[in-house]
Structures are given as C-alpha cells and as structure tokens.
Chains A and B, each alone.
Chain A
Amino acid sequence: MSFLARLIPTVSARTALRFASSGRFYTKKHEWILVDKTVGTVGITDFATEQLGDVVFLELPEAGTEIEKGDSTGAVESVKAASDIYAPVSGTVLEKNTKLEDEPGMINKSPLEKGWLYKVQIKSVDELKELLNEDQYNTFKEEEEAAH
C-alpha cells in the first residue's frame, strides 16, 4: 500500500478524534484558524507540515501588522521546500509565536497546538464563513488528492 493511502486515514482519524469540536476553520492553502470570540490563532495543517518535512525556518508577522485575507504574511521553510503563509482572515496581528521561531521543528511535532504561528484580532467575523470547516477541509484535501 502506498504511503499516501496509509497517511489519509491516519491523519483524518487523528484529526477528527482530537479536534472534532475544536471549531477550527481552514483555507484551501492548508492554513487553519481557531477562533475565540474575535481573536483567531493561525497555523498550518499537519497535512502541510507532512508535505514540507522538517521545518528549519519560519518568518512570522510582527505584532501590530495589518493583514488582509489572502495576503502572504510569512513563510515556512524546510530542507525540501519553502512556502508562503497566507492570512485566512483580515485583521491586526496581536502576537507571534516567538518560541516557535526559536525552535521551528516544533511545528512538525505539534502543528495544531504548540506550532501555532500568530494571533490575530479579526476585523470581520463574517469572513470566517468563507472558510472551510473540518469536514469540508478533509473532503477538499481528499478531492485534491484524487484530482491529481
């Protein structure tokens, strides 16, 4: 059985189990945002970190930065590849994960918890409606895989 065939059920099962009621929203570019009232915590999914492999460098937005939904707000680099991080919503950056900057490898170990990237004061919670929920994201991921 191929690596991927093994990976998908594992990831979905694990994600579903741990975050079924987590209230995370997702982008089609594999970012997630966890919302508490009007403050969002942003990260990239375990699917994305699996793709990248061992992350060695992160570029995160400074507190106070105004971001627009869809903007590149930083970058994540592994030995294999580099990728921009896109803002899932518009708003103002409140805080970045400086611990993660010091220890980028943590994002591979804990992409959904300790590997969060930054917190954002959300400008309009309406924008969240345009994002995917857990099930939609998992379906999207599987469709994307099947399409190629």
Chain B
Amino acid sequence: MNRLVSRSVLLRATRCFSRTTEVSGKQTCLIETHKKHGGKLVEFAGYDMPTQYGDLSIKESTIHTRKHVSLFDVSHMLQTHITGKDRVAFIESLTTADVQGLQENSGTLSVFTNEKGGIKDDLIIMKTDKDFLFLVTNAGCIDKDLPYLLENAAAWRAKGKDVNIETLDNRGLVAVQGPEMAKVLQEGTDIDLSKLTFMKTTVGSVFGIDGCRVTRCGYTGEDGVEISVDPTKAEQLVDRLLASQAGKVKLAGLGARDALRLEAGLCLYGSDIDENTTPIEAGLAFVVAKRRRETLDFPGAEKIVKQLKEKSWPKRRVGLLAQPGRCPRSHLPLIDPLDKCAIGFVTSGCPSPTLGKNIAIAYVDKSHSKEGTKFIVDFGAKQAPVEVVKMPFVPTHYYTGKK
C-alpha cells in the first residue's frame, strides 16, 4: 500500500508536470513572468502554476523566504467583493466570523461551515472602509464556493435583502513574504507599513501602481503582505520588487509555499481540513468568534459549539515530529505501539528545510493527541516512531506592531 502511495506521488508529479506541453490550464496574469524566470509549471487547481524557479531548489527557496523575502503568485485564488447593506449579516450567516465586531480595514481568517459542522473552505474576510467586504478563497474551491455564494445571495435578495457578489476576475494577487518585506516594500509605497499590522488592509500606490490593495497576511508564518493588483500591472509590480536593493527578493513557487505553510503549522484545504473536519477538530477554535458561539447562527453551529464546550471531539489535528529517515506523508496510517490499533493518519508531511527534521500534520484519536505522546507511522514495509509536538514547528513572525 505504501508502494502505491509513494509511487502515486511521483506519478502525480510527472503527470502534472507533463501537462505543460500543451496549453492545459487557465493562466494567471503573471504567466509570462513565470516563463521568463524559468518557472517549472504544473497544473494546480486548474491553473498553470510554478512549483519552483530556475536552479533554486524548494529547500533553498524555503530557507531564502525565512531569511530574506520571496514573491509568490497567488492570483489563482478567488478574490471577491460582497456589496449591499446586508453584506455583514450575509457573510456571517455562512461563516464563523464576527465581521460586525471587526474594525474597518481589518480582517480575519474564517471558515465556511456545512450543516455537519465540517469545513467547506477556509477564507480571509476583510472589512473595508468602503461599501464592500473583500474575500479571498481557495482556488481549488472556486467551483464550490462561487455557486454557494451566488445561490445564497440570490436567496437573500428574494427575501428583500441587499447583498451582491462581485468576483474580481483575473485580478493579480502577489504575496510578498519574509523578514525583509517591509524594507523592500516601504521604498515603493505611500502606505505606512509600520501602521499596517497583521490582518489589516489598505489601498495605496505601490511602485507607481495606484489602487493596490495591500493586506498584512500570508501563508508562510513570516511577516508579509498580499497585494491585490490590476492584472495589467502585475508583471510590473513583480519586476520592481525583484529589482529592489533593500533586500534579497526572489520568486518562489508552490513547492516552497507548501513547505513554509507546513512549517508554520497552517492547514492546506483538501489535505488537512475538509468537509468532514470541524474547526474544533482541526485545532482552529479561534476562528469561531466569541459572539458567534452565543448566537449559534451559522451552519453546523450546534455541533461545533457542543464540541467546544464539552471538549468532546473524536479526533484532533496534531503536529508530528519523526525520526531521521523516511518522512511521514499524506495518507499514511498511525498506529498505537502497544495494541497495534490504528489511531489516525497523516494529512501532510515533508522534510522541513528550516529545521532539517521530518515534520507532519496528522489527525489522531483524542486519546493520542496530547503533546509528547509517542506512536508509530506505518510506511508499509517499515515503521517508524513519531511524537506529538506543538505547532507551529517553526516560530511565526507576524507583525503585530508590538516589540
């Protein structure tokens, strides 16, 4: 079985890789940039996206991001405006967020939940000082999220409510991540980055490009921003950032992005969270806002809040540290060393470039979810010990404005 799993990883890589011989997927506004810089393109969520660039390996690119700054094309993600005077109540009806309680120009990570309390998708909601909310949702969930938003908005309008969904088609989204981000970006923007703390958003000019929405967030655990930019100017933005003398700026692809988010203990939708995991099981209780735990007016609220109050969840997302050797990877079973019973499974894992150790995210029975618990990962022909450890694996460096 392990054979199937691991071989399929390579086959999948081969297949994806091969697809770029023909025009297969959709392309972001930065496709020429990827080609110009030797991006190794694969199909990801329907888009031709780079896994890495030129000679820079995934390991080197990951370490570069932690030391300097990397640019990621994340334009494949869905950017949406929600307008209308009932927009806050509308988005709250579908998610666990307290958007009412958010200050203007700030945002939160949240989840769309289903009736079973499972996660339909994770998303970022920004409450702007204009007449709209700004949403960023996963590219892989576009076919699910967009009809869901449109249908619900139509239902609200049928009840006389005022809400509209406007997708920002093809708009660019560039993530600038790493400790040198502020130095590099401040040179080219009229936005005071010292005041733009984690999860705040604003609009300004960036390297001469007006109307850039800059949000202090990311998916690496490092300080960083995501810049939503006019698609015709995205390439110019990237070129200007790469030319910066204020820091070492390099392009990074999906390979480093995955390693970085894993090191930061962040979930990948479809791997670490899905329709069958609740935010509580996923260790994301913080996305279920305090007020919403009282109002109970989002899909699956009763199940989620019951789990939270009674601390009763059947399984739990944990971080694992493995011994040197083979690394636990997605789908591998976890086994109790004494009774040999299956107690869970790995959902993602990789040799951490930053730590030089094998790390993984897994779901295990509540009984095995405590820090320090030791059990076994089953590779098929071989088995290896693993231990539950605290996440993030690599300390995060979000810019909170406090020292």
User: Which residues of A approach B to under 8 Å, CB–CB?
Assistant: 1-5, 29, 48, 51-54, 56-57, 59, 72, 75, 77-84, 108, 144-148
> Contact at A2–B35, with CB atoms within 8 Å?
yes
Q: Contacting A77 at CB < 8 Å: which of B3, B52, B351? A: B351
Residues of A within 8 A of B255 (CB): 53, 79-80
Q: How far is the CB of A81 from chain B (nearest CB, A)?
A: 4
> Contact at A79–B21, with CB atoms within 8 Å?
no
> Contact at A83–B6, with CB atoms within 8 Å?
yes
Residues of B within 8 A of A5 (CB): 20-21
Most chain-A Cβ atoms within 10 A of its Cβ — which of B10, B35, B327, B329? B10
Q: How far is the CB of B59 from chain A (nearest CB, A)?
A: 5
A4-B17, A4-B21 given as contacts; is B62 within 8 A of A79 (CB)?
A: yes
Please, how many angstroms separate the alpha-carbon atoms of A80 and B13 in the complex?
9
> Contact at A82–B327, with CB atoms within 8 Å?
yes
| A-B CB contact pairs (8 Å), 7 listed | A1-B35, A5-B20, A52-B10, A57-B325, A81-B10, A83-B7, A144-B14
Q: Contacting A54 at CB < 8 Å: which of B6, B20, B58, B324? A: B58
Cβ proximity bits B250-263 to A, threshold 8 Å, 1 near / 0 not: 00000100110000
Residue of chain A at shortest CB distance from B259: A79
Residue of chain A at shortest CB distance from B332: A82
Q: Contacting B351 at CB < 8 Å: which of A2, A72, A79? A: A79
Residues of A within 8 A of B9 (CB): 81-83
Residues of B within 8 A of A148 (CB): 14-15, 18-19
Please, how many angstroms separate the alpha-carbon atoms of A49 and B382 in the complex?
23
Q: How far is the CB of B168 from chain A (nearest CB, A)?
A: 27
Residues of B within 8 A of A72 (CB): 3, 381
Residue of chain A at shortest CB distance from B324: A57
> Contact at A80–B51, with CB atoms within 8 Å?
yes
A57-B325, A75-B326, A79-B350 given as contacts; is B20 within 8 A of A3 (CB)?
A: yes
> Contact at B20–A2, with CB atoms within 8 Å?
yes
Residues of A within 8 A of B351 (CB): 56-57, 77-79
Residues of B within 8 A of A146 (CB): 18, 21
Residues of A within 8 A of B6 (CB): 75, 81-84
Q: How far is the CB of B261 from chain A (nearest CB, A)?
A: 13
> Is B38 at the interface (CB under 8 A from chain A)?
yes
Residue of chain A at shortest CB distance from B352: A79
Residues of A within 8 A of B15 (CB): 148
Residues of A within 8 A of B381 (CB): 72
> Is B39 at the interface (CB under 8 A from chain A)?
yes
The 8 A-B pairs with the shortest beta carbon distances in the complex, nearest first, are: A54-B57, A83-B10, A148-B18, A2-B20, A81-B9, A145-B18, A79-B58, A56-B351
Most chain-B Cβ atoms within 10 A of its Cβ — which of A3, A48, A54, A59? A3
> Contact at B62–A4, with CB atoms within 8 Å?
no
> Is B116 at the interface (CB under 8 A from chain A)?
no
Residue of chain B at shortest CB distance from A75: B326
Please, how many angstroms separate the alpha-carbon atoms of A53 and B58 in the complex?
7
Residue of chain A at shortest CB distance from B57: A54
Q: How far is the CB of A50 from chain B (nearest CB, A)?
A: 9
Q: How far is the CB of A28 from chain B (nearest CB, A)?
A: 11
Residues of A within 8 A of B258 (CB): 80
Cβ proximity bits B52-90 to A, threshold 8 Å, 1 near / 0 not: 100001111010000000000000000000000000000
> Is B40 at the interface (CB under 8 A from chain A)?
yes
A2-B21, A53-B52, A148-B15 given as contacts; is B10 within 8 A of A48 (CB)?
A: yes
Please, how many angstroms separate the alpha-carbon atoms of A72 and B4 in the complex?
11
Please, how many angstroms separate the alpha-carbon atoms of A59 and B17 in the complex?
25
Please, how many angstroms separate the alpha-carbon atoms of A48 and B38 in the complex?
19
> Is B126 at the interface (CB under 8 A from chain A)?
no
> Contact at A53–B57, with CB atoms within 8 Å?
yes
Residue of chain B at shortest CB distance from A51: B13
Residues of B within 8 A of A48 (CB): 10
> Is B321 at the interface (CB under 8 A from chain A)?
no
> Is B353 at the interface (CB under 8 A from chain A)?
yes
| Given A2-B41, A78-B351, A146-B21, 14 other A-B residues pairs in contact with their CB atoms under 8 A | A3-B35, A53-B51, A53-B57, A54-B57, A56-B351, A59-B325, A72-B381, A75-B6, A77-B351, A79-B353, A80-B51, A82-B9, A84-B3, A145-B18
Residue of chain B at shortest CB distance from A6: B38
Q: How far is the CB of B39 from chain A (nearest CB, A)?
A: 7
Residues of A within 8 A of B39 (CB): 3
Please, how many angstroms separate the alpha-carbon atoms of A141 and B329 in the complex?
27
Q: How far is the CB of A30 from chain B (nearest CB, A)?
A: 8
Residues of B within 8 A of A51 (CB): 10, 13-14, 17
Q: Contacting A78 at CB < 8 Å: which of B20, B41, B58, B326? A: B58
A3-B41, A72-B3, A75-B326 given as contacts; is B19 within 8 A of A56 (CB)?
A: no
Most chain-A Cβ atoms within 10 A of its Cβ — which of B62, B258, B350, B351? B351
Q: How far is the CB of A32 from chain B (nearest CB, A)?
A: 16
Residues of A within 8 A of B60 (CB): 54
Which B353-367 residues have a C-beta within 8 angstroms of A?
353
> Contact at B18–A4, with CB atoms within 8 Å?
yes
